[in-house]
Amino acid sequence: MILFYCLPAKGSTPWIQERCRHHPISEISFVMRAMGHYPSEQEVEDMMNEVKFSKYVDTGKYVDSIDLGDFIKLYVNHRPAFGLSLSQLHRAFEVLGMQDETGGLPSIDRGELLDLLQTKGEHLTESELAEYITTLLGLNPEGGSSELGSYEDEGSAELIEEYLPGRLNAEHFSAEVLGFGLLSADGQEVTSQE
The SS3 assignment for 150 reads coil
105-158 per-position pLDDT tens digit: 888 899 998 888 888 877 888 888 888 888 888 777 655 444 545 667 777 888
CA distance 55 to 92: 40
Kindly list the structural domains of the chain, giving each domain's residue range(s) and its CATH number in brackets, ordered by start.
2-78 (1.10.238.10), 86-190 (no CATH)
CA distance 141 to 20: 25
Confidence of residue 18 (pLDDT cuts 50, 70, 90): low
Contacts 24+ apart (CB under 8 A), 155-162: 156/130, 156/131, 157/130, 159/134, 160/110, 160/114, 160/130, 160/133, 160/134, 161/110
CA distance 20 to 144: 23
CA distances from 75 to 7, 36, 69, 187 (A): 20, 11, 10, 21
Q: Are 167 and 156 in contact (CB under 8 A)?
A: no
**pLDDT score at 138:** 79
Question: Using alpha carbons only, how large is the chain's radius of gyration in Å?
Answer: 20
Beta strands in the chain (DSSP E): 22-24, 65-67, 107-109, 167-169, 182-183, 189-190
42-88 per-position pLDDT tens digit: 899 999 999 999 999 999 999 999 998 899 999 999 888 776 677 78
Q: Are 161 and 114 in contact (CB under 8 A)?
A: no
161-183 per-position pLDDT tens digit: 888 888 888 888 888 887 776 55
**Residue 103 reports pLDDT greater than 60:** yes
CA distance 156 to 45: 28
Could you tell me which residues come within 8 angstroms of residue 111 by beta carbon, excluding any fewer than 6 positions away? none
